[in-house]
């Protein structure tokens, strides 16, 4: 994959690849003409952004920006290759070049731009560079090791980091939380059955139960004594929490599971591992990956290999080939690993942005995008059907290949995109929309809201397991996903459906005292509020509604002096950061979309925000955005979607210039 420079400032960041070496031709269009200095600037910015986005479309009809996370993806890719014995010098050197470029002046690695040093990320990056041949006494390595020791050493790292180290004997398996493969036999009604976990955690935990049971150790190529606070006693004892507390209960459960590991019946354990392996193989996608995301693929490959699958086995060879598709090769010869890829999400958002910017509804490139999205519809049940066995399929996933896990959020936004385009076969579009609406309605949770992948995935127990310290492991309903579903339902004339009204009431009840809404899948209160206000407006909630006025007041209060909006990832840990951070193009777009939906088109806040977007746009129609405004797990896993800096500013500018979202009755 080729890459071009994205012009990011501050710490070095991966450069966004061009969508295709053979981009689709653009077709000229005429934007709406509106008088006024701010409007003139907005029109000009809209035109340039539209031209850039049209030129970035792949010839097949999709858009995809780089999905940038952190160096643990790159480090774990090298560790996997070391474990399997398939490392090659070229790949190792390219990955090491990227990892070195991401090290900061304080010798650490962070998990988001300008974030604090992260212990686990720094340990994994350090180990990967040791594998690449960097000497431990080199200044950048010695500085990192000193920082690691100063922050508790390996013993203070997250469980996943210590699992990777245990694979090479750098940590003892006995000192890791236990998760037995017999978990696969727990019935759906039993606490901690695999369907109590969110789909991303489920796909990771099932293979890791096999790894945990097998406890493999490959010969380590070097020692890591320099990463322990005391190499003679690298594993300090952790005090037990009170037995009457949840933490104490689950600590004692973990101790019991360690005892069980020693006495587990061989036949039962063997059968459980075979059942887990069958579960894994059944969920491998057509392209060889698992769930379209990198971590489950990595652990599934390790687990199956431990059970005797050789590297030439069709399942493993396809899995290994799929991992290469997560690699972004950059102009400087470095190699970055994407945690996953977002073509469906990027394509529906790009389609909405272009339509709202005034591109004609029958524009050939929009029609091509709809054709591609229609071909990506998932027409078979997946794991979501465990909780909704009678529900017929009809959704879209986030990635190129992920038939087991379509998601509610993508499905809602795809419907909004489909209905903005005048397709030559409207009956085909309408049928897909009807299936999607039925499926989304069927995935409503008991409380009236919607989550991302499953219904009623709200068990309080998985997050309390000592094993699960790597981020959110359940999938409860969220305001941003619920808002997108409400906006979609309003668009298809389901505003008065009782299920829609329940969703609206849930949203109104979820508003923070500040006037904002929490954002689960984007950072953070700006994303939540930027999702909810357009949905409420689409559903007929007037701009004078008290909830809307509170939200407008909050957006006005947190607007930056430069006219833009920004919010740091730290708002997930500290509400003092809510709505606070350096101005970014995507977050300014969200704030403007919210204010425009609330009827604030002529306000000073909107004018200043529009001017900020116009003034910070680059000559090629793009915006610079090194900051991470996407969320995988709040605080624990942050994402910089490189297309967000294009689609959300364009959507906001288009709605400002044209007076609102594009007419959405085209697909009716």
Burial 469-489 (b: 16+ CB within 10 A, else e): bbbbbbbbbbbbbbbbbbbbb
Instruction: Please tell me the number of Cα atoms within 13 Å of 276 on its side-chain side.
Output: 35
DSSP state of 31: P
Encode pLDDT of 148-203 as tens digits: 999 999 999 999 999 999 999 999 999 999 999 999 999 999 999 999 999 999 99
Number of domains in the chain: 2
**Same-domain check for residues 102 and 52:** no
Residues 301 and 357 placed together within one structural domain of the fold: no
Within a domain: residue 20? no
Sign of CA dihedral 64, 69, 73, 75: positive
> pLDDT value at position 625?
97
Using an 8 Å Cβ cutoff, are 167 and 218 in contact? yes
Residue recorded with tokens 């606490």: 191
The model's pLDDT over 84-136, given as tens digits with 9 standing for 90+, comes to: 999 999 999 999 999 999 999 999 999 999 999 999 999 999 999 999 999 99
**pLDDT tens, 513-565?**
999 999 999 999 999 999 999 999 999 999 999 999 999 999 999 999 999 99
Q: What is the mean pLDDT of the segment spanning 326-353?
A: 96
What pLDDT, on the 0 to 100 scale, is given for residue 239? 78
Domain end call among 271, 304, 337: 337
Phi-psi group of 152: left, alpha or beta (phi > 0 → left; psi -120 to 50 → alpha; rest → beta): left
Q: Are 435 and 322 found together in one domain?
A: no
Mean pLDDT of 591-611: 97
Strand 335-337 to 630-633 pairing: unpaired
Same domain, 144 and 289: yes
Instruction: Verify whether residue 491 is a known catalytic residue.
Output: no
Let me know whether 102 and 222 are in one domain. yes
| Residue carrying structure tokens 């295709």 | 20
Mean pLDDT of the 577-597 span? 98
Contact 527, 480 (CB under 8 A): yes
Q: Which of 307, 337, 367 is the last residue of a domain?
A: 337
Position 663 in a domain: no
For residue 604, tell me if it sits in a domain.
Answer: yes
One domain, residues 210 and 293: yes
CA 470, distance to chain mean position in Å, is 14
pLDDT tens figures, 230-274:
887 777 777 778 888 877 887 888 788 888 898 989 999 999 999
Position with higher pLDDT, 469 vs 340: 340
Which of the residues 74, 77, 409, 410 is marked catalytic?
409
Q: Where is average pLDDT lowest: 35-49, 223-237, 339-353, 596-610?
A: 223-237
- The C-alpha atoms of residue 519 and residue 551 are separated, in whole angstroms, by 14
Q: Yes or no: say if 457 and 198 are a contact pair by the CB < 8 Å rule.
A: yes
φ, ψ dihedrals at 314, nearest 5°: -55, -35
Residue 545 is assigned to a structural domain of this protein: yes
Backbone angles phi and psi of 327, in degrees to 5: -85, 130
Q: Indicate whether 29 belongs to any domain.
A: no
Nearest to 391 by CA among 487, 456, 479, 343: 456
- Token couple for 613: 């977007």
Radius of gyration of the chain (CA): 25
Whether residues 79 and 53 share a domain: the answer is: no
pLDDT tens-digit readout, 87-100: 999 999 999 999 99
Among the ranges given (5-14, 203-212, 304-313, 410-419), the one the predictor scored with the smallest mean pLDDT: 5-14
568 near 516, Cβ under 8 Å? no
Element (H, E) at 336: strand 335-337
State whether 165 and 230 are in the same domain.
Answer: yes
- CA-to-CA dists, residue 117 to 123, 144, 496, angstroms: 11, 10, 49
Residue 190 class from Cβ within 10 Å (0-12 exposed, 13-18 middle, 19+ buried)?
exposed
Indicate whether 455 belongs to any domain: no
In-domain check, residue 647: yes
Give the pLDDT of residue 36.
64
Given this model, what pLDDT does residue 34 score? 40
Q: Is the domain of 77 the same as that of 88?
A: yes
CATH classification of the domain holding 185: 1.50.10.20
What are the Cα distances from residue 625, in Å, to 192, 210, 643?
Answer: 40, 41, 10
CA of 339: how far to CAs of 140, 405, 632, in Å? Answer: 26, 16, 10
In the chain, the percentage of residues whose pLDDT exceeds 70 is 94
What the block records as the tokens of 294 is 């990198």
| pLDDT tens digits along 33-72 | 344 699 999 999 999 999 999 999 999 999 999 999 999 9
**581 and 609 part of one domain:** yes
Report pLDDT for 35.
41
Longest dimension (CA), the chain: 79
Q: Residue 236's pLDDT is what? A: 72
Q: Smallest Cα–Cα separation from 350: which of 22, 656, 54, 58? A: 54
Where a domain ends, among 321, 337, 353? 337
Confidence band of 662 (pLDDT split at 50, 70, 90):
confident
Phi-psi region of 540 (alpha: psi -120 to 50; beta: other; left: phi over 0): left
What mean pLDDT, rounded, does the chain reach?
A: 92
Which domain covers residue 178, as residue numbers?
70-337
Position 299 pLDDT exceeds 60: yes
Other CB atoms within a 10 A radius of the CB of residue 338 amount to: 21
Residues 410 and 365 in one domain: yes
Supply φ then ψ for residue 480, to 5 degrees.
-65, -45
**Do 519 and 531 contact (CB within 8 A), yes or no?**
yes
User: Are 374 and 503 within one domain?
Assistant: yes
């Amino acid at each position: 994959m080729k890459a071009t420079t994205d012009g990011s400032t501050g710490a070095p960041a991966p450069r966004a690849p061009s969508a295709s070496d053979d981009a689709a031709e653009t077709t000229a269009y005429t934007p709406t003409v509106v008088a006024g200095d701010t409007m003139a600037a907005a029109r000009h910015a809209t035109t340039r952004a539209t031209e850039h986005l049209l030129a970035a479309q792949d010839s097949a009809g999709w858009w995809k920006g780089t999905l940038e996370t952190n160096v643990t993806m790159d480090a774990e890719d090298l560790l996997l290759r070391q474990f399997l014995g398939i490392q090659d010098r070229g790949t190792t050197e390219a990955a090491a070049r990227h990892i070195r470029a991401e090290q900061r002046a304080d010798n650490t690695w962070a998990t988001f731009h300008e974030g604090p040093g992260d212990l686990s990320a720094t340990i994994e990056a350090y180990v990967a560079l040791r594998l690449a041949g960097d000497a431990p006494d080199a200044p950048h390595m010695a500085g990192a090791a000193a920082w690691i020791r100063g922050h508790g050493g390996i013993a203070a790292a997250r469980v996943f980091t210590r699992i990777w180290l245990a694979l090479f004997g750098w940590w003892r398996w006995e000192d890791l939380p236990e998760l037995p493969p017999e978990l696969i036999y727990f019935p759906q009604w039993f606490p901690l059955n695999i369907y109590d976990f969110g789909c991303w955690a489920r796909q990771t935990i099932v293979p890791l139960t096999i790894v945990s049971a097998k406890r493999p150790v490959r010969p380590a190529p070097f020692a890591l004594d320099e990463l322990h606070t005391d190499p003679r006693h690298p594993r300090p004892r952790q005090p037990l929490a009170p037995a009457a507390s949840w933490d104490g209960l689950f600590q004692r459960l973990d101790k019991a599971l360690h005892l069980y590991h020693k006495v587990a019946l061989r036949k039962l354990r063997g059968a459980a591992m075979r059942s887990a392996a069958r579960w894994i193989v059944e969920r491998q996608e057509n392209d060889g990956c698992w769930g379209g995301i990198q971590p489950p693929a990595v652990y599934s490959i390790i687990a199956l290999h431990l059970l005797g699958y050789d590297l030439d086995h069709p399942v493993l060879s396809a899995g290994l080939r799929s991992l290469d598709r997560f690699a972004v090769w950059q102009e400087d010869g470095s190699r970055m690993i994407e945690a996953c890829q977002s073509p469906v999400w990027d394509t529906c958002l790009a389609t909405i942005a272009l339509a709202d910017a005034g591109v004609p509804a029958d524009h050939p490139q929009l029609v091509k995008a709809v054709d591609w999205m229609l071909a990506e519809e998932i027409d078979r049940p997946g794991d979501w059907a465990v909780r909704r066995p009678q529900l017929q399929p009809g959704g879209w996933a986030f990635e190129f290949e992920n038939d087991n896990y379509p998601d509610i959020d993508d499905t809602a936004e795809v419907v909004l995109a489909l209905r903005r385009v005048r397709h030559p076969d409207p009956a085909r579009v309408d049928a897909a929309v009807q299936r999607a609406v039925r499926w989304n309605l069927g995935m409503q949770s008991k409380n009236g809201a919607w989550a991302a992948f499953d219904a009623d995935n709200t068990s309080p127990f998985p997050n309390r397991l000592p094993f699960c310290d790597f981020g959110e492991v359940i999938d409860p309903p969220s305001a941003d996903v619920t808002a997108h579903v409400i906006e979609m339902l309003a668009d298809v004339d389901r505003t008065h459906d009782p299920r829609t009204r329940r969703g609206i009431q849930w949203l109104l009840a979820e508003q923070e005292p500040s006037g904002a809404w929490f954002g689960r899948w984007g950072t953070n209160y700006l994303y939540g509020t930027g999702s909810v206000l357009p949905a409420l407006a689409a559903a007929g909630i007037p701009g004078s509604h008290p909830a809307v006025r509170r939200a407008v007041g909050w957006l006005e209060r947190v607007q930056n002096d430069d006219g833009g909006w920004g919010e740091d990832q730290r708002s997930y840990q500290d509400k003092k950061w809510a709505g606070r951070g350096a101005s970014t193009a995507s977050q300014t777009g969200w704030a403007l979309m919210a204010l425009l939906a609330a009827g604030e088109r002529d306000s000073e806040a909107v004018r200043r925000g529009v001017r900020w977007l116009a003034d910070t746009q680059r000559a090629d129609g793009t915006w610079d955005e090194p900051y991470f405004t996407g969320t995988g797990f709040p605080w624990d896993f942050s994402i910089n979607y490189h297309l967000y800096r294009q689609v959300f500013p364009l959507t906001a500018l288009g709605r400002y210039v044209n007076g609102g979202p594009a007419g959405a009755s085209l697909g009716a």
